[in-house]
Structure 1
Amino acid sequence: MTWNEEFLKACRKENNRFVPVWYMRQAGRSQPEYRKLKEKYSLFEITHQPELCAQVTKLPVDQHGVDAAILYKDIMSPVPSLGVNVEIKAGVGPVIDQPIRTLEAVERLGMIQPEKDVSYVLDTIKLLRKQLDVPLITFAGAPFTIASYLIEGGPSREYHETKALMYSNPTAWFMLMDKLKDMTIAYAKAQIASGAQAFQIFDSWVGALNVDDFRTYIKPTMHDIFSELQHEGVPLILYGTGARHLLNDWNELPIDVIGLDWRTSPREAREMGITKALQGNLDPSILLAPWEVIERKATQLLDEGMEEAGFIFNVGKGIFPEVKVETLQRLTAFIHEYSSKKMG
């Protein structure tokens, strides 16, 4: 088996033969094979069957020719281990039947035991390491993003309840952050020990906070998490949407890669003083445009990304169902061909 380590080299800001590429949500909604599986199984049912979950994870590697696999699962997968009932509702997202909004509710939260609580995740990782010829990325949701679901009871646009707890009951807030920090560290370490070769934290909704609040209520927790994980020997990636104003603070964290959404180009990020490797950040909506538009936008992104070592091509948010498999296949081939000529 020929091993493709271009993704890991880019994470370490080493020189590449070509720009590596993978797509957030590459395993899932845009694939006909996946949609057929979802007619029979729920997300949780797929993730609890290691062989089936490995099949879903590996499918885009085989189908699109991408340079990394990302484990198919949900950021809420470890949350039931805390004693919280989570339901993933189609078209809605994670729903919590009893939101966590008091100190007493936070105090009642349990602790994760990864080998017991998420053994199915670890078994899938072990299985995939035997099957893949590209690196396997695994992930967790960041404490703020997980907390927003726990407190709001589900997805939110304004995060009023989350901010209310943060501002009005800092004792409860910081206890919650500590518990989610411990969960994230234990969960991540177990995944890495099982064979994960890179670890990404999705702080999807932290852009809802301003810089001062991020520094006060979130950054110390994130620093503790990444400081603990940096000794595990795998690249660490941080990604969130609408977080341009937080990038300089992210750059100070002990991470290897910053994932950009589509609002900030690689050149802009570097002009802001970002020194980490960069991952991103084609607007996935462009993938519905004619090929000439996709190629032009991809070329611009590649040219900017390749100005410095340490660039991974990705989308600025997850792939959605309307994107055609053929489009991703053609884009992946173009990225490899175009960048290899430039780098050669």
Structure 2
Amino acid sequence: MGFNTLILDVLEGKKVSKKPVWLMRQAGRYMPEYMAVRKKVSFLELCKTPELACEVTLQPIDILGVDSAILFSDILIPIEPMGVNLDFNPAPYISNPIEKLSDVKKLRVIEPENDVPFVIDTVKLLVKELNVPLIGFSGAPFTLACYMVEGGGSKNFVKIKTLMHTEREAYNLLMDKITESTVEYLQAQIDNGCKIVQVFDTWAGIVSPKDYSELVFPYVKKIVDSLKGAHVIYFAKDSATFYSKIKELGCAGIGVDWKIELDEAAKLLDNKFVLQGNLDPVLLFTDKATLKENIDLIFDKTKNVKGHIFNLGHGILPETPVENVKFLVDYVHSKEI
């Protein structure tokens, strides 16, 4: 079988007869094959062992038949060599969170070849094995800053918002260092064979439109403008109220969550981008008739968009029935456009 260019064709504006499909967290806990590998090592060890990371990246290609692989890793991997103590138990935990300017000054910008060689080695292994494009990825600066300041996940994000508004020098320097590290990290993935990179801004939606515009967006734009040699997709959860700003980005694709219809998202974004998404991941727990109905709706809503990559509105959830995921991929592939 030849190399599957379907997702690249869509991102490049070529006419296609089928929608490409891949799924966020397509390699992961819902798959028995993944869990068999995971039993041997901790999560961080899995991320840092190229042969194993390669194995679990390939599983959904073989099992589901998706049109792209996404590097198996975690968005927090590059912040560890910046100078934070990272662990997972199973949620991410940082024992030395950033609290003040002096903490930020101790952080350093990473050098991917020296600091995360296992990521580069995994990319190299995958490029040799795959007959579909490889998506590299990173967290967006604000999302990474949330973890670094909060010390993990958070309900109200009091610490990062307080730092943002009362310690502006510390906040700006933190975002500058994360942004520079992220550019280096993503460019290394591109230089070693990733044809697409996705920037995940999971926590972008916790701030006001004004704060997003002034204190979050400029760092995303700097990343998009700096990267060379790959298509960039930006995915910001709960971000529809920011589309008037997001449409200024020069990236190829925008990931869309399930809280806005795709035709409405295209309108707000001036139909400038290939859209990606936006099935609610919980629908994978329902029956095939419900899945069909909601997949058909997404096809209907994307008739007039610039281009569309079928995906979820966020990652696959644990305990998702694999047979429903396989049905989704097969049904999307069965539909002509």
| TM bracket (short chain) | over 0.9
TM-score, reference length from structure 2: 0.97
Name the structure 2 match of 1:166.
Answer: 164
Separation of aligned partners in 2, 1:261 and 1:209 = 17
Contact 1:23-1:319 within 8 A present in 2 as well? yes
Separation of aligned partners in 2, 1:291 and 1:260 = 23
Name the structure 2 match of 1:68.
Answer: 68
Contact 1:15-1:309 within 8 A present in 2 as well? no
Alignment pair present for 1:270 and 2:271: no
Separation of aligned partners in 2, 1:104 and 1:165 = 13
Contact 1:61-1:68 within 8 A present in 2 as well? yes
Question: Could you tell me which of 228, 234, 237 is aligned with 1:238?
Answer: 234
Using the TM superposition, give the Cα deviation of residue 111 of structure 1 relative to its aligned residue in structure 2, in angstroms. Answer: 2.0
Using the TM superposition, give the Cα deviation of residue 233 of structure 1 relative to its aligned residue in structure 2, in angstroms. Answer: 2.0
Using the TM superposition, give the Cα deviation of residue 274 of structure 1 relative to its aligned residue in structure 2, in angstroms. Answer: 4.1
Q: Which runs of 5+ in 2 are unaligned?
A: none
Alignment pair present for 1:331 and 2:321: no
Q: Secondary structure at the match of 2:172?
A: helix
Separation of aligned partners in 1, 2:188 and 2:28 = 24
Q: Deviation digits for residues 18-45 of structure 1, max 9, x if unmatched? A: 0000000000011001112222211211
Name the structure 2 match of 1:96.
Answer: 94
Q: Secondary structure at the match of 1:314?
A: strand
Q: Secondary structure at the match of 1:74?
A: coil
**What is the identity, as a one-letter code, of the residue corresponding to 2:311?**
N
Contact 2:271-2:305 within 8 A present in 1 as well? no
Alignment pair present for 1:147 and 2:172: no
Question: Could you tell me which of 230, 249, 253 is aligned with 2:249?
Answer: 253
Contact 2:266-2:305 within 8 A present in 1 as well? no
Using the TM superposition, give the Cα deviation of residue 330 of structure 1 relative to its aligned residue in structure 2, in angstroms. Answer: 1.3
Q: Secondary structure at the match of 2:81?
A: helix
Residues paired across the two proteins, number: 336
Separation of aligned partners in 1, 2:85 and 2:303 = 45
Separation of aligned partners in 2, 1:28 and 1:143 = 24
Contact 1:5-1:135 within 8 A present in 2 as well? yes
Using the TM superposition, give the Cα deviation of residue 13 of structure 1 relative to its aligned residue in structure 2, in angstroms. Answer: 2.7
Using the TM superposition, give the Cα deviation of residue 170 of structure 1 relative to its aligned residue in structure 2, in angstroms. Answer: 0.7
Contact 1:6-1:17 within 8 A present in 2 as well? no
TM-score, reference length from structure 1: 0.95
Name the structure 2 match of 1:7.
Answer: 7
The worse-fitting range, judged by mean Cα deviation, of 218-227 and 286-295 is 218-227
Contact 1:43-1:73 within 8 A present in 2 as well? no
Q: Deviation digits for residues 216-268 of structure 1, max 9, x if unmatched? A: 11122111111111xx1211011021111112211111111000011011111
The CA RMSD measured in Å over matched residues stands at 1.1
Alignment pair present for 1:190 and 2:184: no
Question: Could you tell me which of 302, 315, 318 is aligned with 1:318?
Answer: 315
Name the structure 2 match of 1:293.
Answer: 290
Name the structure 2 match of 1:27.
Answer: 27
Q: Secondary structure at the match of 1:78?
A: helix
Separation of aligned partners in 1, 2:277 and 2:13 = 15
Name the structure 2 match of 1:51.
Answer: 51
**What is the identity, as a one-letter code, of the residue corresponding to 2:157?**
Y
Contact 1:251-1:274 within 8 A present in 2 as well? no
Contact 1:247-1:274 within 8 A present in 2 as well? no
The worse-fitting range, judged by mean Cα deviation, of 26-35 and 302-311 is 302-311
Contact 2:10-2:274 within 8 A present in 1 as well? yes
Separation of aligned partners in 2, 1:269 and 1:239 = 13
Q: Secondary structure at the match of 1:318?
A: coil
Separation of aligned partners in 1, 2:10 and 2:156 = 36
Q: Deviation digits for residues 111-139 of structure 1, max 9, x if unmatched? A: 21100111100011011011101000010
Using the TM superposition, give the Cα deviation of residue 307 of structure 1 relative to its aligned residue in structure 2, in angstroms. Answer: 2.5
Contact 2:271-2:306 within 8 A present in 1 as well? no
Separation of aligned partners in 1, 2:12 and 2:160 = 35
Separation of aligned partners in 2, 1:44 and 1:165 = 29
Separation of aligned partners in 1, 2:15 and 2:305 = 9
Contact 1:13-1:311 within 8 A present in 2 as well? no
Name the structure 2 match of 1:209.
Answer: 207
Separation of aligned partners in 2, 1:167 and 1:205 = 17
